[in-house]
Amino acid sequence: MKESGRKQGAISPCAACKLLRRRCAQDCVFAPYFPADEPQKFASVHKVFGASNVNKMLQELPEHHRSDAVSSMVYEANARVRDPVYGCVGAISSLQQQIDVLQTQLAIAQAEVVHMRMRHFPSTSNPAGNSPENGSPSTNKHMAGDSQTKSFFGMDMVVDHQANMGESLWSC
C-alpha cells in the first residue's frame, strides 16, 4: 500500500478526513488525492458530489485511473460551483460559440483579402493572359455571360466581369 507522503508515526489527516472530522486511516481512499494542504479541492468535490459518492466512485476504479477521475471531479465541481445549472458543459458551449464566431470572422477576412487583391491587382489573377474563351485550365464557366468560378481558400468565388467596379459574388 502506498504511503502517499504520510509518515506512519504521525499521521496528519487528509483534507477529506479533516473536513469530515474523522480519523484518517492508513488506507484512506481520499489521502493520495486530497492532501491536507489543498482543502479547497475536497471541499468543492464534497459540496457537489458528496463524500459517500466520491468514496464509491474511487473504490470502483482501479488505482491507476483514480488520479484522472479525481482531476475530472475537481474540474466539474469547480465548474458547478461557478455555474450550478450547466457546470463545465456551459463553459464548453461558450467556448464553442466563440470558435464559431472567430471562424466566421476569419472566413470574412480571408474573403476580403481576396476581394481586395482582385480589385487592386487584376492582372495577377490571370498572369498568362488566359481567359475562359481561350480554354484556361484554371478557370471554368459558371453561369451564362462573362463570369467564371475561381477557388481561393477552399471557397468558390464567382467573378462577373460584366459587373460594375469588378464586384465579386461568393458562393460556398
pLDDT, one tens digit per residue, over 23-45 is 999 899 999 999 999 999 999 99
Q: pLDDT at position 150, please?
A: 52
Domain limits, the chain? 15-82, 90-171
- Which DSSP state fits 151? E
Q: Which parts of the chain sit beneath pLDDT 70?
A: 1-11, 123-172
- Cell digits of residue 63: 488505482
Distances (CA, A) of 1 to 66, 111, 113, 126: 15, 62, 63, 74
Residue type, 82: R
| Residue 166 near residue 122, CB atoms below 8 Å | yes
